[in-house]
Structure 1
């Protein structure tokens, strides 16, 4: 059994090596970030959803964010036909959202005020100040269509074990260190395509 597991692991590593994936260094974090990140529950990272630099497969202009809800990946397009791929949690079928929007606002350790629809589904949810227990995590990118808030966000999470699943209420969740990395790269008014 051990030999079989080792063979599968070697096959996976070999397959990844041929895909031109390159890991992306961790972003620098502030003292507050480091302190609060240490308080978020840890989850074993699935290498399929790790942060990788790779050849651009989107064809979009640099600075664009593309979310593939079926594959559970977010792509940030870089110059020189490269992109960074991040693993994400997406909305389950009942709450999924697709469309084109823009990043109208960015926030560090944002406060959370659940929308009315969420409060109706889960009466126990209530507004929370930013911090390690907050479901929005370390950073949030607020998505607007024109000047209208979609109420959808790209944000961190206090449930990193759910990366790669379709269990959110429509928002795109990322590991906190990944959303910090993306936040540092993304400009206001960046185009966001959710497929």
Structure 2
């Protein structure tokens, strides 16, 4: 990858948002109305199974994800330059700042209260299908769950980091926080992880190819002046 690559967000390169609609089916009796989301074709393609990977990347179950958190290009007001990642933990969005006041927006899951990272960091390096090792704090909090994994977990479809991970450092020191994938589709838009920033696997694969190492990352824990749609 060219480390000088700067993402240019264009309508030809991106799939633009389309709202979900609902289809209902009822009988003549007093049975409960059943509603089933109809997923637009462009989203089915965007979040379909990914071929060419060393491990399976299944299609995302979009019936478990609020459509507001699916990838799309949006207008975004920010003082940050093109190529910066801005993570709005309160809104549950990650923005990749583009040109002309636009950004590529991804839905995210964030850390539980008290476990979140905030401030500025750099993507020190990136990994495809990374190993995962729980932190000492995680092992101390839940030794029965994480103790057996103290030596690490091999890459694969069950690895919590998913198919890609961006490693965040601050002042040259590993923050132990990552931007990574997840197969737990239902967690997107929620605060459930141990502090890391998680995206659908298709989204982290997309983000991974757009950002080089040393990309600036701004993590906001609340409203900040100058940032917003």
Q: CA offset at residue 41 of structure 1?
A: 7.4
1:153 maps to 2:174: no
Query: After the TM superposition, which parts of structure 1 deviate over 4 Å for at least 4 consecutive aligned residues?
Result: 27-30
Q: CA deviation at 1:56?
A: 2.3
Q: Normalising by structure 1, what TM-score?
A: 0.81
Match among 22, 26, 31 for residue 52 of structure 2: 31
Q: Helix, strand or coil: the match of 2:208?
A: helix
Partner of 2:89: 69
Match of 1:117 among 112, 137, 145: 137
CA shift in 2, pair 1:41/1:48, >3 Å: closer
Q: Does 2:222 align with 1:182?
A: no
TM-score of the aligned structures, taking structure 2 as reference length: 0.70
Residue equivalent to 2:21: none
Deviations 1:97-129 (A, max 9, x none): 211000001001110011100111122221211
**Which structure 2 residue ranges, 5 or more long, are not aligned?**
1-23, 25-32, 221-229
RMSD over aligned CA atoms reads 2.6
Which of 110, 118, 121 pairs up with 1:98? 118
**Contact residue 60 and residue 200 of structure 2 kept, 8 A:** no
Structure with max Cα Rg: 2
Secondary structure at the aligned position of 1:36 is classed as coil
Name the one with the larger helix percent: 1
Equivalent of 1:85 in 81, 91, 105: 105
The structural deviation recorded for 1:29 is: 4.9
Q: What SS does the aligned partner of 1:80 have?
A: coil
Structure 2 equivalent of residue 172 of structure 1: 197
